[in-house]
Structure 1
Amino acid sequence: MESGRVFIAVAGVWALFVTAHAAKPYPIDDSTGYGRTFDGIGGISGGGATSKLLVNYPQPYRDQVLDFLFKPNFGAALQILKVEIGGDACSTDGSEASHMHNSWEENYQRGYEWWLMLEAKKRNPNIKLYGLPWAFPGWVGGPTRDNPWTDPERPAYYVLNWLRGAKAVHNLTIDYLGIWNERMYSIPYIKLLRKTLDDNGFSNVKIVGADKKWEIADDILQDEELGAAVENIGCHYPGTFSDPSAMKTGKQLWASEDYSTFNDNVGGGCWGRILNMNYVNGNMTATISWNAIASYYNPLPWFRTGLMTAVEPWTGNYAVESPIWITAHTTQFTEIGWRYLRHGAGVGNFTGGGSYVSLVSPDGKDLTIVIETMSHDHSICVRPPLEPYNVTKQRVTFQLKGSFASITSLNMWYSRLFNGAVNVTGTMFERQAPLKVVNGMVQLDVAVDEAITLTTVSGGQKGSYPPPPSSQPFPSTYNDDFEGYPEHMEPNNLAQQTGSFEIIDVGSPHNKVVRQMVLSQPVHWCKAEGRTNRSINLIGNYNWTDVTVQMDAKVGEVNGSSGYFVAARVDRGGGESDQAEGIFLYIFPNKSKYHLSGDFEHKKGITEGELPSSNSDWNNVMLTVQGGTASGTYNNQKLFNVSIPANPKYGFVAIGTDSWGIVDYDNLMIKAKPVANLRQKPKDNTLYYKPKA
Structure 2
Amino acid sequence: MEVNGSMWTHRYRGRTPAGTAAFAAFLLIVGLLVGGPLVGGQPSAALAKAPTLTAVTVDGHGTGRTFDGVGAISGGGGNTRLLTDYPPKQRGEILDYLFKPGYGAALQILKVEIGGDTNSTDGAEASHEHSRGAVNCGTGYEWWLMEQAKARNPGIKLYGLAWGAPGWIGNTGGGGNFWSQDTVDYLVSWLGCARQHGLTIDYLGGWNERGYNTGWYEKLHSALAAKGYRHTHVVGADSGWDVATAMRGDSAFDNAVDIIGTHYPCSYMSAMTQCSTTSDALATGKQLWASENGSEDYNTGGAPLARAVGRGYLDAKMTAYINWPVVAAVYPNLPYNTMGLVTATQPWSGAYSVGKSTWASAHTTQFTRPGWHYIDTAGGYLGGDRANGSYVTLRSPDSTAWSTIAETLDASAAQTMTLKVTGGLAGGALHVWSSDFSSTDQRDYMVRQPDVTPVSGTYPLTLQPGRVYSITTTTGQGAGTAQSPARGVLQLPYRDGFEHTGVGGEARLLAAQQGSFEAVRCAGGRAGTCVRQMAPTAPINWDSPADPYAILGDLGWSNYTVSIDTRLTQDGAVRLLGRVGTQSGFSPAGINSYDLSLSHSGAWAIERNNTAHQVTVLAQGTDTQAAGDGWHRLSLGFDGATITASIDGRTVGTATDASYGSGQVGIGTTGYVPAQYDNLSVTPGPAQTYAGTYQLVNRNSGKALDVADQATADGSAVDQWAGNGGANQRWTVQPTGDGYYRLTGVQSGKALQVPGGNPVSGTQLDIRARQSDLAQQWRIVPSGDGYTTLENRATGMLADVSGQSTADGAKVIEWPPNGGANQQWQLVRTD
User: What is the TM-score normalised by the length of structure 2?
Assistant: 0.75
* Superposition map of 1:481-520 within 5 A: 481-506=497-522, 509-520=526-537
Is 1:303–2:337 an aligned residue pair? yes
Q: How does 1:125-140 map to 2 (within 5 A)?
A: 125-140=154-169
Deviation at 1:13, TM superposition (A): 4.8
CA distance in structure 1 between the aligned counterparts of 2:30 and 2:158, rounded to whole angstroms: 53
CA contact (8 A) 2:288 2:319 kept: yes
1:184 and 2:204 correspond: no
The reply on whether 1:156 has 2:184 as its aligned counterpart is yes
* Partner SS state of residue 319, structure 2: strand
Give the distance between the partners of 1:8 and 1:26, measured in 2 at CA: 15
1:79-124 superposed Cα distances (whole Å, 9 cap, x missing partner): 0000000000000001000000000300000000000000001111
**How far, CA to CA, are the matches of 2:306 and 2:285 in structure 1?**
26
Aligned twin of 1:385? none
Find the residue that maps to 1:280 and give its secondary structure. Answer: helix
Tell me the equivalent position of 1:597: 607
Q: Within 5 Å, which residues of 2 pair with 1:76-115?
A: 76-115=105-144
Change (3 A) 1:242 1:610: same
1:582 aligns with 2:566: no
- Residue 58 of structure 2, aligned match among 21, 29, 43: 29
Report the Cα distance in structure 1 between the residues aligned to 2:357 and 2:298, rounded to whole angstroms: 7
Distance 1:145 1:77 in 2: 42
Q: Deviations over 1:193-244 (max 9, x none)?
A: 0000000100110001101111100011001111111111111111121122
Aligned partner (choices 471, 476, 481) of residue 492 of structure 2: 476
Separation (CA, whole Å) in 2 of partners of 1:245 and 1:583: 52
1:635 to 624, 638, 648: 648
Q: Which residue of 2 aligns with 1:241?
A: 276
1:273 aligns with 2:307: yes
Asked if 1 retains the 8 angstrom alpha-carbon contact of 2:603 and 2:620, the reply is yes
> 1:302-341 maps to which residues of 2 (within 5 A)?
302-341=336-375
CA contact (8 A) 2:224 2:230 kept: yes
The residue type paired with residue 643 of structure 1 is T
Q: Which amino acid aligns with 2:520?
A: I
Alignment of 1:285 with 2:319, yes or no, is yes
Question: 2:197 aligned with 1:165, yes or no?
Answer: no
Unaligned residue ranges in structure 1 (runs of 5+): 376-390
CA gap of 1:330–1:138, structure 2 versus 1, over 3 A, is: same
Quick one: distance in 1 between partners of 2:363 and 2:543? 35
Describe the shift of the 1:307–1:685 C-alpha distance in structure 2 as closer, same or farther (beyond 3 A). Answer: farther
Bigger CA drift: 137-146 or 238-247? 137-146
Tell me the TM-score normalized by structure 1: 0.89
Change (3 A) 1:617 1:404: same
Q: Does 1:345 align with 2:375?
A: no
Moved more, 561-570 or 480-489: 561-570
**How far has the Cα of 1:547 moved from its partner?**
2.4
Instruction: Please list the CA deviations of residues 416-459 of structure 1 after superposition, one character each: whole Å capped at 9, or x if unmatched.
Output: 0114xxx5777111111111122332222222210111000022
- d(CA) in 1 for partners of 2:32, 2:120: 61
Letter in 2 for 1:581: N
Distance 2:391 2:493 in 1: 53
Q: What letter is aligned with 1:572?
A: T
1:232 to 259, 268, 277: 259
The 5-angstrom pairing of residues 537-686 of structure 1 reads: 537-555=550-568, 557=569, 560=570, 562-573=572-583, 575-588=586-599, 590-599=600-609, 603-611=615-623, 613-614=625-626, 617-644=630-657, 646-672=658-684, 676=740, 677=779, 679=791, 680=797
Residue in 1 that maps onto 2:91: 62
Q: Kindly indicate whether the alpha-carbon contact (under 8 Å) linking 2:382 and 2:390 is maintained by their aligned counterparts in 1.
A: yes
- What is the rounded CA distance, in whole Å, between the counterparts of 1:610 and 1:437 in structure 2? 85
Say which SS state the counterpart of residue 416 (structure 2) adopts.
Answer: strand
Q: How far off is 1:647 after superposition? A: 1.4
Cα deviation code 1:632-666 (max 9, x no counterpart) = 1111111122212x213333212100111100000
Q: What secondary structure sits across from 1:462 in the alignment?
A: coil
Question: How big is the shift at 1:164?
Answer: 0.8
Q: Does 1:117 align with 2:146?
A: yes
Structure 1 counterpart SS, 2:460: strand
Given residue 178 of structure 2, which amino acid in structure 1 is its aligned partner? P
Check whether the contact 1:326–1:429 (CA below 8 A) recurs between aligned residues. no
Q: 1:354 aligns with which of 384, 389, 401?
A: 389
Give the corresponding residue for 2:430.
410
TM-superposed CA distance for 1:358, in Å, is 0.3
Q: Return the alpha-carbon distance in structure 1 between the equivalents of residues 477 and 177 of structure 2.
A: 47
Please say if residues 262 and 683 of structure 1, whose CA atoms lie closer than 8 Å, have aligned partners that are also in contact: no
Residues in 2 aligned to 1:13 and 1:684: alpha-carbon distance in whole angstroms: 36
In structure 1, distance between residues paired with 2:352 and 2:419: 42
Secondary structure class of the residue paired with 1:418: coil
- Deviation by residue 1:22-46 (Cα, 9 ceiling, x = unmatched): 9854223326631110000001000
Q: Secondary structure at the match of 2:169?
A: helix
How far did residue 4 of structure 1 move? 7.5
- 2:444 match: secondary structure: strand
Deviations 1:173-201 (A, max 9, x none): 00000110001311111000000000010
- Counterpart in 1 of 2:776? none
Q: What is the aligned-residue identity percentage?
A: 34
Output the CA distance in 1 between the equivalents of 2:479 and 2:801: 28
Q: Where do 1:141-152 residues align within 5 Å?
A: 141-143=170-172, 144-149=174-179, 152=180
| Displacement of 1:14 | 4.8
* Equivalent-residue separation in structure 2 for 1:463 and 1:84 (angstroms): 28
CA offsets, 1:487-508, max 9 Å, x none? 0001111111001000001266
In structure 1, the residue matched to 2:414 is 394
Q: 1:4 to 1:665 in 2, by over 3 A?
A: closer
The amino acid across from 1:312 in the alignment is: Q
Aligned residue in 1 for 2:399: 364
| 8 Å CA contact 1:396, 1:445 repeated in 2 | yes
Q: Closer, same or farther in 2 for the Cα pair 1:55/1:425, shift >3 Å?
A: closer
Query: Taking structure 1 as reference, are residues 104 and 353 closer, same or farther at Cα in structure 2, changes over 3 Å only?
Result: same
Total equivalences in the alignment: 655
Q: 1:418–1:424: 8 Å Cα contact kept in structure 2? A: no
Separation in 2, partners of 1:153, 1:115: 28
Give the aligned residue type for 1:452: Y
Describe the superposition over 1:497-548 as per-residue Cα deviations: whole angstroms up to 9, x where unpaired.
Answer: 0010000012663410000011111000002x2xx3x211111122333221
Contact 1:633 1:640 in 2 (8 A): yes
CA contact (8 A) 1:36 1:285 kept: yes
Secondary structure, counterpart of 1:278 in structure 2: helix
Q: Contact 2:40–2:463 at 8 Å: present in 1 too? A: no
Out of 453, 467, 470, the residue aligned to residue 436 of structure 1 is 453
In the aligned structure 2, how far is the partner of 1:405 from the partner of 1:164?
Answer: 43
Aligned CA distance change for structure 1 residues 347 and 11 (closer, same or farther; 3 Å): closer
For residues 310-364 of structure 1, give each alpha carbon's deviation from its aligned partner in whole angstroms, at most 9, with x where no partner exists: 111112111111111221111111100000011x433444446110010001110
CA RMSD of aligned residues (A): 2.7
Larger Rg: 2
Whole-Å Cα distance in 2 between the matches of residues 199 and 325 of structure 1? 42
Question: Match for residue 17 of structure 2?
Answer: none
Q: Could you tell me which runs of 5 or more consecutive residues in structure 2 were left unpaired when the two chains were aligned.
A: 1-28, 267-274, 689-738, 741-778, 780-789, 792-796, 805-814, 819-831
